[in-house]
Structure 1
Amino acid sequence: MDSQNSLILIAMSVGALLVVLWAVRRWWREHHQYDLTGKTVLLTGGSRGLGLVMARQLVQQGARLAICARDRAELERARNELEQQGGQVLALPCDVTDKSQVEQMVQQMRDRFGQIDILINNAGTDLVGPMDVLTMEDYDDLMKLHFWAPLYTTYAVLPEMRQRKAGRIVNISSIGGKVVSPHMLAYCASKFALTGLSEGMRAELAKDGIPVTTVCPGFIRTGVIDHAMFKGQHRKEYTWFSIADSLPLISTSAENVARHTIAAFRHGDAEVIVPFPAWLSAKLFALFPGLNSTLLGWANRLLPGTGGIGTERALGKDSHSFLSPSVLTTLSERAARRNNEIAAEKAHGAGANGQVETGSHEQVEAQQVSATEAKSSGITARSPSPEPAIAED
């Protein structure tokens, strides 16, 4: 009897200690947050979508901001909106897959604001299609954007952060960097690389007082779906992906992801996975990799096969079907209107895709003219040959 009472007492003591530790941790987090007032943030891919939503929230919290993307018109619209909110904003056209352009952009930011306190590597894109229609160029383009670009920006800002023993680095990866998904092989491979890079950086930079946060969101309603790339039976691929991207039970708003991201790096957290279905899938994949692979193999049998446009790339806006857009994608369409996605398309005319290509301005203009002519003649606009470089989201 005495031993039973002792066990009960020990259990109650441990429980009480855990509650106290939880309360202390919560108090410490609330009272020792990284203050964003006057801090300078470099945000890649900040002209629309999740990047623009994060930029709005950063400005509201008093940060000074530099946003970069490859489309000058998009950048100007984003800068005007953010400045109307009272923010100090520098808009810098930059192809982040080009190391020299990245270094030049960072120097321009230093000239304007001085030191860089926070780097958020957000630029990215989606490429959807079965493995059989992916080319080596697809893998290479996504690795450039999702792995090499964050590496370039990090190495560009790191020396001054190390010198000050201060700074924050945030890498926007994806649940696709934790859990594989059929028909997104090149995307997942590049995001797994970014996740590994980010987690390794956190371990190495801890001694320098530079927390690194890895963000792995699931489906986000940013409105960017019409700017994604699709291959094979592109209309069917667009249909399943766009509907999944919009359904409230498995997707989340860009505003929610932005709030979690900013709160996480202010606290110095290692990782963020949102929404809950994405978090749960990551945990299940880690615990039961064999079972998950089997389930994903079955899911792959339900997805479209090869055929269609084959290895060509088609924009989402040129891949609509009778099911999408529809009432099932309403939330994503509303997000597109809020987050500078629709405006980008209108600004470039009927043939513009609202994205900025990695190639030269001459190549971009040629692609836009080709798409415009195709659309005006009643032909479904597809990516001209050779394939355009992957577009930044």
Structure 2
Amino acid sequence: MDNKTKNNLLLAGASLGGLYLLRSLRRKKREFSFTDRTVLITGGSRGLGLVLARMFAEQGARIAICSRTQDQLDKACAELREGGAAVLGFNCDVSDRDQVSAMVSEIKQKLGPVEVLINNAGVISAGPLEEMDVPDFEEAMNIHYWAALYTMLEVVPDMKARGEGRIVNIASIGGKVSVPHLVPYSGSKFALVGMSEGFRAELCKYGIYVTTINPGLMRTGSARNAFVKGQHEKEYAVFALMDANPIISLAAEEAARKIIDAARYGKAEETLGLNAKLMSTLHGMFPGAVTDLMCVLNNFLPGPGGIGKERVRGYESETPFTQSPLTALNQQAAAQNNEY
């Protein structure tokens, strides 16, 4: 090896080392403690939202959660208080701006201004496109896009005044790659990803870091509360079996830890799960090929029929197959995370 080659290798090594050191210093500078912070988690009474609430509470945060289901909300608040957390619960429809404004105002009065916002509220309607109606698309946009906008608009002024804040928008790999039989969901999550990235670009200068989370399948137990249409028992079986597979789905606790870590260091984006990362990368490189692959996948999914455009919950679509040991991990997660 000649001297010129050696010098080039040394220069390259020094450059990489310098970049790594700079990245580490920037990461350390952004580190955000959650102790004595006020954290608002939408959709926080069950599933991933409840797991996040538990973990933030363990780190000494003051917790506010909201839900549209009062009994689940009461149970979640009772559990968090038993663990010693300071917690407020709100029966709030986050797609209603007035309700959001009233909730954030009360949180500010009782716990202090929101310093960490987790936009986690969501809805899923699974089924073939033939069975989807305009209200399915409107509902998905209202909850995934407009609700996230309303909460961000409410908390950003106080964050600007303090010169710091964290906002986490729970999107989905479905917001990067459109998935058949989840078209309203995917379309609204694409919109959320775009808005989340734009908010980050404009709020960084105020010390407010917006993080976009794109999870793949997670074992939260939430499949039983999803809506299914068409051949609903078959649709639910596909959903439940994929969610319960530990090879392609992520445990809720592991996902929550990664989300909290991303918020702590103000990361721009975090894609959760090896399969989701692979799918996102492939779509970025070969968008047409991945879209055509989804066409092939769609041929193996249940066709229209069954209950048609009517929709029922996953738990109303259970069969002996979906209550078998094949979905044991899902059943366990549902029991742990207040999904019953």
**Bin for the TM-score computed over the shorter chain:** over 0.9
Distance 1:16 1:245 in 2: 44
* Cα distance in structure 2, aligned partners of 1:321 and 1:207: 53
Query: Do the aligned partners of 2:40 and 2:117 also contact (CA within 8 Å) in 1?
Result: yes
The equivalences for 1:246-285 within 5 A come to 246-285=244-283
Q: Give 3-state SS (helix, strand or coil) of 1:50's partner.
A: helix
Q: 1:133 offset after TM fit, Å?
A: 0.6
AA aligned opposite 1:33: E
- For residue 182 of structure 1, the aligned residue among 172, 180, 183 is 180
The answer to whether the aligner puts 1:229 opposite 2:227 as a matched pair is yes
Cα distance in 2, alignment partners of residues 319 and 295 from structure 1:
28
Shift of 1:257: 1.1
Amino acid of the residue matched to residue 14 of structure 1? A
Instruction: State the one-letter code of the partner of 1:68.
Output: C
The match for 1:59 is: 57
Q: Is the CA contact (8 Å cut-off) linking 1:234 and 1:319 kept in structure 2?
A: yes
Conservation of the 8 A alpha-carbon contact between 2:72 and 2:338: yes
The answer to whether the Cα contact below 8 Å between 1:236 and 1:321 also exists between their aligned partners in 2 is no
Distance in 1 separating the partners of 2:268 and 2:25: 19
Q: Aligned partners of 2:58 and 2:22: how far apart in 1?
A: 28
- Work out the CA distance in 2 between the residues paired with 1:271 and 1:198: 10
Q: Which residue of 1 aligns with 2:328?
A: 330
Instruction: State the Cα deviation string for residues 271-298 of structure 1 (Å, max 9, x = none).
Output: 0101111011101101101110111111
Q: Is the 8 A contact 1:37 1:61 kept in 2?
A: yes
Distance 1:165 1:27, change over 3 A: closer
> Matched residues, percent identical?
47
Is structure 2 residue 303 aligned with structure 1 residue 301?
A: no
Deviations 1:248-291 (A, max 9, x none): 11100111111111100110100010111101110110110111
Q: Does 1:126 align with 2:124?
A: yes
> Secondary structure at the residue paired with 1:302?
coil
User: Following the alignment from structure 2 to structure 1, what is the Cα–Cα distance between the partners of residues 271 and 297?
Assistant: 23
Cα distance in 1 for partners of 2:112, 2:51 equals: 24
Matched-pair contact (CA < 8 Å) for 1:96–1:149: yes
Deviations 1:229-266 (A, max 9, x none): 00111111111111111101110011111111110011
Distance, in Å, in 2 between the alignment partners of 1:181 and 1:290 is 14
The AA in structure 1 aligned to 2:179 is: S
Q: Give, as a single letter, the amino acid of the residue that structure 2 aligns with 1:260.
A: K
User: What residue number does 1:40 align with?
Assistant: 38
Residue 380 (structure 1) aligns with: none
In structure 2, the gaps of 5 or more residues are none
- Structure-1 separation of matches of 2:29 and 2:161: 26
The 4+ residue runs of structure 1 with deviation greater than 4 A are none
3-state SS of paired residue (1:294): helix
Aligned equivalent of 1:76, options 63, 74, 77: 74
d(CA) in 2 for partners of 1:277, 1:218: 7
Q: Secondary structure at the match of 2:272?
A: coil
Cα pair distance change 1:302/1:166, threshold 3 Å: same
Q: Deviations over 1:59-117 (max 9, x none)?
A: 01111111111122211211111112221111111111111111110111011012211
CA-based RMSD: 1.5
Q: Which residue pairs with 1:171 in the alignment?
A: 169
CA contact (8 A) 1:199 1:212 kept: yes
> Equivalent residues in 2 for 1:145-224 (5 A)?
145-224=143-222
Query: Could you tell me how far apart the structure 2 residues matched to 1:62 and 1:316 are?
Result: 35
TM-score (norm 1): 0.84
Give yes or no for contact 2:37–2:115 (8 Å, CA) kept in 1. Answer: yes
Separation in 2, partners of 1:193, 1:226: 25
SS at match of 1:139: helix
Paired amino acid for 1:15: G
Equivalent pairs, count:
340
In the aligned structure 2, how far is the partner of 1:169 from the partner of 1:28? 18
Give me the TM-score of the superposition, normalised by structure 2: 0.96
* Aligned partner of residue 321 in structure 2, secondary structure: coil
The equivalent residue for 1:350 is: none
Structure 1: which 5+ runs fail to align? 343-393
Structure 2 counterpart of 1:35, which letter? S
